Amino acid sequence: MGVGHPDIDIEAEIKHEPMRAQFDRRLISQALTNIIKNATEAIEVVPAEELGKGRIDVIAARENDDIVIDVIDNGIGLPKVSRARLLEPYVTTREKGTGLGLAIVGRVLEDHGGRIELNDAADIRPGARGAWMRLRFAVSGHAAKVEVKEPAAETKVTAPETAERADATNSESKIEAATGG
Ligand SMILES: Nc1ncnc2c1ncn2[C@@H]1O[C@H](COP(=O)(O)OP(=O)(O)O)[C@@H](O)[C@H]1O
Ligand SMILES: [Mg+2]
């Protein structure tokens, strides 16, 4: 399993080239990896007869002073718990989940002057199954108040390429997110 999953097509598109931004390459890469890992896991639980072909679209664009990266999958879709809860640490609906993936993404984006937005794929593709995660961060690379300790890498936004597990924890603790509520 992982980002190089043979049964999932991952398509990356950069809307406005060249797109330059300042950000911590390691942290933003980890955020994207967490999001794509979640998308992969959401696709894996769709019954084969319903799935068709697993697909993850990654679309990066510039919106005023923000970089916006949309990750749209055709997985099982977000569970019916409040989206704010899914961003909390240790909230997971997965047997082996840590519930840390989205919490880390939220934190990284906040530290870059942005946020994560959780939506349904159907919000932009009527009738579609799956989740639509929108990652937003400032082109300038950091929130106004945050002191940048290391120089942020000036780098072009590129397609994610890593396949490693990236929740950045060994913690096994979790809280089951209530479903259907
Ligand atoms: N792309 C997605 N599709 C469906 N559900 C998702 C997706 N991404 C996240 N989720 C939901 O959000 C929960 C929290 O995700 P995360 O913080 O990464 O923790 P974990 O992956 O360890 O469960 C997941 O358990 C899952 O219910
Ligand atoms: Mg996760």
Q: What pLDDT, in 10s, does the model give residues 45-60?
A: 999 999 999 999 999 9
Q: Which two tokens stand for residue 92?
A: 């997971």
- The answer to whether the beta carbons of residues 134 and 116 sit under 8 Å apart is yes
Question: What are the beta bridge partners of residue 13?
Answer: 59
Q: What pLDDT, in 10s, does the model give residues 73-85?
A: 999 999 998 999 9
10 Å Cβ neighbour count for 71?
23
What are the residue ranges spanned by the domains of the chain?
Answer: 8-138, 146-181
- The answer to whether the beta carbons of residues 51 and 151 sit under 8 Å apart is no
Q: Could you give the residue ranges of the DSSP H alpha helices within 52-140? A: 83-86, 101-111
Rounded to the nearest angstrom, the distance between the alpha carbon of 23 and the centre of ligand 2 is: 22
10 Å Cβ neighbour count for 116?
24
- Average pLDDT of the chain to the nearest whole number: 83
- Full-model pTM: 0.81
- Banded model confidence at residue 176, pLDDT cuts 50, 70, 90: very low
* Of the candidates 150, 135, 115, the residue with the CA atom closest to the CA atom of residue 22: 150
| Ligand 1 atom closest to 71 (CA) | 1
10 Å Cβ neighbour count for 15?
12
Question: So what's the pLDDT on residue 180?
Answer: 34
The continuous run of DSSP H or E covering 28 comes out as helix 25-44
- Banded model confidence at residue 42, pLDDT cuts 50, 70, 90: very high
Q: Is 33 in the pocket of ligand 1 (CB under 6 A)?
A: no
Question: So what's the pLDDT on residue 55?
Answer: 97
10 Å Cβ neighbour count for 119?
15
Q: Is 81 in the pocket of ligand 1 (CB under 6 A)?
A: no
8-138: what fold? Heat Shock Protein 90 (3.30.565)
- The answer to whether the beta carbons of residues 56 and 45 sit under 8 Å apart is no
10 Å Cβ neighbour count for 43?
23
Q: Is 94 in the pocket of ligand 1 (CB under 6 A)?
A: yes
Q: What pLDDT, in 10s, does the model give residues 94-153?
A: 999 999 999 999 999 999 999 999 999 999 999 999 999 999 999 998 775 545 555 555
Question: So what's the pLDDT on residue 152?
Answer: 52
| Ligand 1 atom closest to 34 (CA) | 18
10 Å Cβ neighbour count for 153?
13
